[in-house]
Amino acid sequence: MDIATGGKGRCGMKTQGRARDVQILELSKTFQTKSGEEIHALKDIDLHIQPGEFVSVVGTSGCGKSTLMRIVCGLIPATRGRVLVSGEAVDRPRDDVGVVFQNAVLLPWKTVKDNVLVPMDLRDRRRPEHEQRAKALLAMTGLSGFEAKYPFELSGGMRQRVSICRALMCQPSFLALDEPFGALDAMTREAMNLELMRICAETRATVLFITHSVPEAVLLSDRVVVMTPRPGRIADVIDVRLPRPRTLKDYASDLFNDYTGRIRELLGAETLA
């Protein structure tokens, strides 16, 4: 199975990971409660993310966004349907999929650099080129000089940046981010949005971004998927045709507000229905 991706499959051994496409095919997930009741978390999700594309998923809490994310990462199985990353079925976590959670989930006893190197240390012996890459990633996210600090010495935004560096360590061709800035204050969040856009432009990774912030989704994405709860379904997919590079000034543009207005309408219509 690994032969298709070049045999090794061990992360960091390839050159810069090429962006891959991600296909989500008629995906459904049903949970069984203890009383035997069935809960349809996701129903018939169909989504094709192009290589290098940035796709956001917005929806109210409980619409199955995180479930979708966990299936895409290979953490939980789908009830029906499949997820393909560059044509290969995802049935367990993969090296070429980078994941960032809402919390940074750093190991508190490791320094910033060692945290970024965790995926490497778990695989084979650390190599000088790994250390070089970790340093380069930290520099790219503005964390130069913080390599030897511990997570408890960092602010929330910095911690999340370390977490993003860690996800990028394996040179993923696909990044899955589950409300990565949800726990940050508004100002840090905006700064992180700009940073993420820059990182994505630099790495050209395919991105699936889960959020409940409509402006954030519009600012970052090529397409915004609007989901509705119970059962989690795609209400509509909005193409965001704002020119890149985008800045915080875009927040004020009429076109931007058109997009957010349309998405809010979709969300509102669905929650009231």
Partner 1 sequence: MTTPAESESYSALKRSPSPAGLRRWGRDALLAIALPSITLVLLLALWDWAVVYFNIPSTLLARPGAVVSELYYGVTSGLLAKHTLITMQEVVYGFAVGAFAGFVLGAAVAESTWTRLALYPFLVAFQMIPKVAIAPLFIIWLGYGVSSKVAFTASITFFPVVINTIVGLRSVDAEVLEMMRVFRASRWQTFWQVKLKFALPYLFASLEVAMVLSVIGAIVAEFVGATGGLGYLILQQMHTLETARVFAVLVVLSLLGIVLSWVIRVAARRALFWHESERGTPS
Interface ranges with partner 1 (CB under 8 A):
73, 75, 92-93, 95, 99, 101, 103, 105, 107-109, 118-119, 122, 141-146, 148-155, 157-158, 188, 191, 195
| Distance between CA atoms of residues 92 and 11, nearest Å | 15
Measured from the CB atom, is 203 or 260 closer to partner 1?
203
Between 1 and 122, CB nearer to partner 1: 122
* Distance in Å, CB of 6 to partner 1, minimum: 17
| Nearest partner of 87 among 18, 5, 202, judged by Cα | 5
Least distance in Å: CB of 80 to partner 1?
23
Closest CB 233 distance from partner 1, rounded Å = 25
**Radius of gyration of the chain from its Cα atoms, rounded to whole angstroms:** 19
Q: How far is the CB of 228 from partner 1 (least distance, A)?
A: 26
Spatial neighbors of 55 by CB under 8 A, at least 6 apart, are: 47, 49, 207, 208, 209, 221, 222, 223, 224, 225
Backbone angles phi, psi at 170, to 5 degrees: -85, 10
* Least distance (Å) between residue 105 CB and partner 1: 5
Which CB atom, from 27 or from 73, has the smaller least distance to partner 1? 73
Separation between Cα atoms, residue 107 and residue 157, nearest integer Å: 16
**Complex with partner 1: residue 59 or 151, whichever CB lies closer:** 151
H or E segment and range at residue 191: helix 186-203
Peptide bond into 245 cis (omega under 30): yes
Nearer to partner 1, 129 or 185 (CB): 185
